[in-house]
């Protein structure tokens, strides 16, 4: 599967339902980079993946002799490997803040979404995760009225992390209808209409949004 129109020798092992794989696919589409995409069932990964990645996890990127795993490491490498358009701020303070936002998003949003999508845990724990994620999103929603992208005037890696989470809210049974969430809903619409986002979607992810 090709995500762009630039020549590349890279191969990406990607779970078509996984938010972390999705963020890398979105970044590749934003950069217009071609990769060979290998769809991986996260519950039953192919034996060849273990040859590259001792943790047998996705996403895993191979670029000639280089092998990288962990979505954030992969994305930062790709941003340096293909510097246009840059998706991390130039200045150290802004770059650090972007990394901090990604860290917080994973702690406060991804950690709640993962068990909901996987259906992993007791009914009470899943309901608590749903309540916590809904509350975190609602509390953060007003910041989306300040700038067109997540805390930035330009599209960044943070948006690549946020958009796949928001796309999965419906599948997780979370609907944001309150007035306070309107800026977040507007941001969601802009992200979901973005060309790179549409190109990054797998068939399974398309079904999530139906």
Domains of the chain: 92-194 (1.20.1050.10)
What's the rounded mean pLDDT across residues 42-68?
94
pTM of the model: 0.94
In this prediction, residue 42 carries a pLDDT of: 81
CA atoms within 13 A on the CB side of 33: 25
Write the burial class of residue 59 (CB in 10 Å: 0-12 exposed, 13-18 middle, 19+ buried).
buried
Percent above pLDDT 90 for the chain? 90
Query: Could you report the per-residue pLDDT of 139-159, keeping only the tens digit for each?
Result: 999 999 999 999 999 999 999
Residue 143 contacts residue 164 (beta carbons within 8 Å):
no
Contacts of 194 (CB under 8 A, 6+ apart): 155, 163
pLDDT for 73 beyond 80: yes
Element (H, E) at 129: helix 123-140
């Amino acid at each position: 599967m090709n995500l762009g129109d630039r020549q590349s020798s890279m191969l990406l092992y990607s779970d078509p339902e996984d938010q972390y794989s999705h963020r890398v696919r979105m970044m590749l589409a934003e950069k217009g980079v071609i990769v060979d995409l290998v769809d991986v069932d996260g519950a039953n990964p192919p034996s060849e993946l273990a040859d590259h990645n001792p943790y047998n996890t996705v996403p895993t990127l191979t670029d000639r002799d280089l092998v990288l795993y962990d979505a954030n490491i992969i994305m930062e490498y790709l941003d340096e490997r293909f510097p246009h358009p840059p998706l991390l701020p130039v200045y150290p303070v802004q770059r650090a803040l972007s990394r901090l936002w990604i860290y917080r998003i994973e702690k406060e949003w991804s950690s709640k979404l993962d068990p909901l999508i996987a259906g992993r845990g007791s009914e009470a724990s899943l309901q608590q995760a749903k309540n916590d994620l809904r509350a975190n999103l609602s509390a953060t929603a007003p910041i989306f009225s300040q700038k067109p992208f997540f805390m930035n005037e330009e599209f960044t890696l943070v948006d690549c992390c946020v958009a796949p989470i928001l796309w999965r809210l419906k599948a997780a049974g979370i609907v944001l209808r309150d007035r306070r969430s309107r800026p977040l809903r507007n941001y969601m619409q802009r992200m979901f209409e973005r060309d790179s986002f549409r190109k990054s979607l797998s068939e399974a992810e398309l079904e999530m949004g139906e």
